Amino acid sequence: MQSAYVLISCDPEDSDQIISSLMIISGLVEAKLVEGPYDIIVKIQAENSEKLKEIISIQLRRIGKIKHTLTLTAM
C-alpha cells in the first residue's frame, strides 16, 4: 500500500467546498483544515505508486479553486 500527503493552498472561504469535493475521491483517507502556509492536508492511499499518481494527478487536480499543492510521498 502506498501513501501520500497532499498539502493544499486555497482561499479560506473555499476550503469547506474543496473538502466536500475531496471526500468523493477514491483512496482519500482523511482531509483536514490546517493553519500555516497551507490550508488543507489530505492523506491518500492506493494499491501501488501508479494508482497513487493517478489519484493525485487526475482526480485531485479536477477540483476547482485549489491554488497550489505540495505532495509528500510516504516511504
Per-residue model confidence as pLDDT tens digits over 28-72: 999 999 999 999 999 999 999 999 999 999 999 899 999 999 999
CATH class, range 2-73: alpha beta
Using CA atoms, how far apart are residues 6 and 45, in angstroms rounded to an integer? 11
Using CA atoms, how far apart are residues 8 and 66, in angstroms rounded to an integer? 7
pTM of the predicted structure, to 2 decimals? 0.93
Residue whose C-alpha is closest to residue 43's, from 64, 20, 65, 73: 73
Task: Confirm if 55 and 46 have CB atoms less than 8 A apart.
Answer: yes
Task: Confirm if 59 and 25 have CB atoms less than 8 A apart.
Answer: yes
